[in-house]
Amino acid sequence: MEAKARARYIRISPRKARIVANLIRNKDVGEALEILSFTRRAAAQPLKKLVESAIANAKQASSAVDVDSLFIKSLTVDMGPTRHMRRWRPRAMGRATRVVKGMSHINLVLGIR
């Protein structure tokens, strides 16, 4: 049995979110939640909410599922659209450069050991 959860349009760059995602990949969900609760990175909070959502999805799919046997089977962080969050920064001699704010799509799959 697999339980899936997906968070889209998260306002953090994928590069920064992947750092935290690598910490919890292939871990048990209890251990992953503990790691995320003590990680001082901006991506830890959305990932913690996503893991909790996947646990709730697993309980909803089958009430007999043992939460302690769940682990993070796959966790991917992909780039979201950058078209919506563009800003401009003034530069020398009347020029401007574009500042692209990153967005992430995060997919999580839980499996049973």
CATH number at residue 53: 3.90.470.10
Q: For residue 56, what pLDDT is reported?
A: 95
pLDDT tens sequence across 7-49: 999 999 999 999 999 999 999 999 999 999 999 999 999 999 9
- Please report which confidence band the pLDDT of residue 85 belongs to, taking 50, 70 and 90 as the band edges: confident
Supply the range of the domain harboring residue 52.
Answer: 3-112
Name, in order, each residue with C-beta under 8 angstroms of 36's C-beta and a sequence gap of 6 or more. 20, 23, 24, 44, 45, 47, 48, 51
pLDDT of residue 80 exceeding 90, the answer is yes
Angle at 26 between CA 49 and CA 13, to 5 degrees: 50
| pTM of this structure | 0.89
Mean pLDDT confidence for 85-107: 93
Name, in order, each residue with C-beta under 8 angstroms of 40's C-beta and a sequence gap of 6 or more. none
Q: For residue 82, what pLDDT is reported?
A: 84
How many structural domains are present in the chain? 1
- Please report which confidence band the pLDDT of residue 92 belongs to, taking 50, 70 and 90 as the band edges: very high
